[in-house]
Structure 1
């Protein structure tokens, strides 16, 4: 199993996810991560149609290469786009490059080579098959075996998969010798479904679990969730908003905050090796570093348990997994 840092930078934001970030701010964000001790960066060709990889590489290529872990993904190749409009997949970038699905062995090799070109680096440490949910047969036949061959050849140190849904992740963990899986939005203060099948499978296989989306795409990101808070990138349902607000109130009663609870709960399960957080400014980096450094009182978890505010399967600090 590869040794992953406690937390890292999820660099979709640096590909202009939803909102544009300047080159200067993107660079300052990576630099702030470095200053905060962050040595793990997760990117992908999908993020900004290559922009995230370009920015991450520009910020890291003068850093000592042995001091950081770089993770990117395969499954989408970038090809020339029309260049007359904007990206249609959630990133504020021009459509000069568009994505095509390709989970073939040749596509995986080409993807890694082209990622290295955008990054300007000589290697990536971790390569994940990205979002193969609807292409599992192709990924099983091509992408996963090819990544395993590339690991044997020493071209990458570790391989795995990144998805939002836990069932297909569990299936590939049980089928292939994977080092890492990244699951987004399925293990946090409101939803611990990844603990049902994926975490036990990963522990049996010796596969490290990385979490994304621990702020539930916004609902858990503020000390007081606003009325228009989002959950899974849509308006948060009233019941979940109320639950998050009650959790935030209990956090305040114990001298802490909802976002601090979110990051500490995320990393408490023994299957979880690391958490990646999307950050788009040095201020967000400093804020998140402070959350991880905070001493959260154990009494707050007891109070949340008493009010049945924690999902079944969630392991919090001070507890052990069942």
Structure 2
């Protein structure tokens, strides 16, 4: 199935209070700012704040003025009282997850349903999880189905085995991490699977490479921090903000259809939208390739 995706989307984990609390007002302002900037793709999940991100997105998008939003959510984990989350890849579980999401989102269907981080559940996904997602697509409750994951090897295995409409890979195709280029992206290009890239800042390091910044959900090691600071210095030689190069980098691969950036405020949305509009001189890409931040084969076409 062909998936039509806007080039830039809003990731909603931050408005689900990822790492720190976000007020109701700031969450609504974040979605409103996305609408003003022309961002029409919104990615969410039940696990983002135990349903909070979906609920906030559902309420905010009704007043944000987005005529035809593209919304993706995820399934495979059910929310339980006391902030508990349990895995459930049965047809009943996948259906319950999506139906609960639709209630929070205040929508009759979503455009994309991802199976969320099924790294260690291949048998369950094969038997019931993926067939259930396909049936939900056939029923019109999801326009497209795929997988949303943080690791390339198991995600590539799913793409190779199933007819996958779209995948979301987080944190593994950035200026500091090229893991997706090894197998996942070439495979998706061959199969025609649309690719959404999240985590282009690698949990914040490439947005602001300062001591204490996060990389892959942990404090960045000294060597990785130094690499990010060097990348920023090279970009500065060309008058380009590091964040702009980080957001534009994934588009160098033809399999990538969209980039999703998590934001927790209207100001972050505006800054990231501006970064996405920044033109990157070809000379900068080549300099970054010389320094190992850009795989040279991406510049050969």
TM-score scaled by structure 2? 0.95
Query: Larger deviation: 171-180 or 234-243?
Result: 234-243
Which whole-Å CA distance do the structure 2 matches of 1:205 and 1:305 have between them?
27
1:176-187 aligned at under 5 Å gives the runs 176-187=162-173
Q: Measure how far apart 1:63 and its partner are.
A: 6.0
Which whole-Å deviations, capped at 9, do the CAs of 1:153-176 have from their partners, x for residues lacking one? 222110000110111110111111
* Preserved CA contact (<8 Å) 1:260 1:291: yes
Pair 278,182 (structure 1): closer, same or farther in 2 beyond 3 Å:
same
Q: Which ranges of structure 1 fall in alignment gaps of 5 or more residues?
A: 82-94
Q: Does residue 1:163 correspond to 2:163, yes or no?
A: no
Q: Hey, what does 1:18 align to over in structure 2?
A: 19
Q: Does residue 1:293 correspond to 2:277, yes or no?
A: yes
Q: Which runs of 4+ in 1 moved over 4 A?
A: 62-66
Number of aligned positions between the proteins: 300
Q: Hey, what does 2:4 align to over in structure 1?
A: 3
Q: Does residue 1:153 correspond to 2:139, yes or no?
A: yes
Q: Does residue 1:144 correspond to 2:145, yes or no?
A: no
Q: Does residue 1:45 correspond to 2:46, yes or no?
A: yes
Which whole-Å CA distance do the structure 1 matches of 2:93 and 2:267 have between them?
38
1:109-148 aligned at under 5 Å gives the runs 109-148=95-134
* Preserved CA contact (<8 Å) 1:45 1:78: yes
* Preserved CA contact (<8 Å) 1:202 1:271: yes
Which whole-Å CA distance do the structure 1 matches of 2:17 and 2:297 have between them?
32
Which whole-Å deviations, capped at 9, do the CAs of 1:43-92 have from their partners, x for residues lacking one? 000000000000000011356776110100001111222xxxxxxxxxxx
1:231 pairs with one of 212, 215, 218? 215
1:208 pairs with one of 171, 191, 194? 194
Q: Measure how far apart 1:201 and its partner are.
A: 1.3
Query: Larger deviation: 242-251 or 12-21?
Result: 242-251
Q: Which ranges of structure 2 fall in alignment gaps of 5 or more residues?
A: none
Which whole-Å CA distance do the structure 2 matches of 1:255 and 1:13 have between them?
29
Which whole-Å CA distance do the structure 2 matches of 1:314 and 1:276 have between them?
24
Pair 108,320 (structure 1): closer, same or farther in 2 beyond 3 Å:
farther
Q: Measure how far apart 1:304 and its partner are.
A: 2.1
Q: Hey, what does 2:230 align to over in structure 1?
A: 246
Pair 64,244 (structure 1): closer, same or farther in 2 beyond 3 Å:
closer
* Secondary structure, counterpart of 2:176 in structure 1: coil
Which whole-Å deviations, capped at 9, do the CAs of 1:233-283 have from their partners, x for residues lacking one? 222222222221111111111111111110111222101110100100000
Which whole-Å CA distance do the structure 2 matches of 1:215 and 1:139 have between them?
30
Q: Hey, what does 1:309 align to over in structure 2?
A: 292
TM-score scaled by structure 1? 0.89
RMSD, aligned CA: 1.6
Q: Hey, what does 2:76 align to over in structure 1?
A: 75
